[in-house]
Amino acid sequence: MNICLRRALALVLVLCLAGCNAAFSAGARSEAGRRDIIGLPQAKDAVTVYYRSGMFDNEAAAVAREAGQYVERRLAQGVEKAAVVFDVDDTLLSNFETFQAADYGWNECFLTAWRDAALTSSFTGIRPMVELFCRLYDRAAIFIVTGRTEDLRLATMDNLARVGCPGWAGFFMRSDADREASAREFKTGARRAISEMGYVILANIGDQEDDLSGGYCERAFKVPNYMYVLP
Ligand SMILES: [Mg+2]
């Protein structure tokens, strides 16, 4: 090998090592800059701990307390035909066990298990919200507004009764005609209908932004949901 060829090879080697080093340094910097990103398995574990440790119950209780205080204050001011609206899933009834058992996958396995639980009225109640429901039941008209479909009406009513909800003034579910409407459109339409009956909706309580946007209520209260955000 002549001297020129040796020098050329040496230069290529130096350039390669420099390139590798630069790429390694960039990778290390990049990884260091992403330390705030949690891995998916760890994220699922964190959500499970959040729901199983009582943290969710504590946060739900804080929301219930705030909503209850607001409604009580408005009732004390003499509001006539006062109403409160509750969503069902992950507001009054918890989907956590079903969703966790499906490893938080929004897939056929989860949807089948969810429907089985819905048809057998076997979801557990979210205690602070059910207690708020019971506390306000004699003092305001309670309306249920849920994205569940009409075929689940009796099973849903039965499930709510089982967890301790004593009754309601109205129960809005999606009919076939509502299937094309978005959750926001359907739920806003239901609150509009309640308002047109002369009720003043003091509080609207749900776990998704689509439960809460769209107006026709004085205050909206969001129950935490770290499992999913509906599109
Ligand atoms: Mg919900």
Per-residue pLDDT of the chain (231 residues; tens, 9 = 90+): 443 334 433 333 333 334 434 443 444 455 556 677 889 999 999 999 999 999 999 999 999 999 999 999 999 999 999 999 999 999 999 999 999 999 999 899 999 999 999 999 999 999 999 999 999 999 999 999 999 999 999 999 999 999 999 999 999 999 888 778 888 889 999 999 999 999 999 999 999 998 888 899 999 999 999 999 987
35 in a domain, yes or no? no
**d(CA 37, ligand 1 centre) in Å:** 27
CA of 160 to the centre of ligand 1 (A): 14
**Residue 231 domain flag:** no
Query: Does 121 fall in a domain?
Result: yes
Q: Residue 110 sits in which domain range? A: 54-222
92 domain residue, yes or no = yes
Cβ-based neighbours of 120, under 8 Å, separated by 6 or more: 155
CATH code (residue 94): 3.40.50.1000
11 CA distance to ligand 1 middle (Å):
64
In a domain, 1, yes or no: no
Asked if the structure places residue 189 within a domain, the reply is: yes
Alpha carbon of 115 to ligand 1 centroid (Å): 15
Q: Is the residue at 44 inside a domain?
A: no
In a domain, 95, yes or no: yes
For the entire predicted model, the pTM comes to 0.83
Q: How far lies 21's CA from each of 3, 17, 26, 142, 211, in Å?
A: 27, 6, 8, 66, 52
Tally the domains of the chain: 1
Q: Residue 174 C-alpha to ligand 1 middle, in angstroms?
A: 13
- The closest alpha carbon to 205, from 17, 81, 63, belongs to 63
Which two structure tokens, joined as six digits, stand for 111? 């949807």
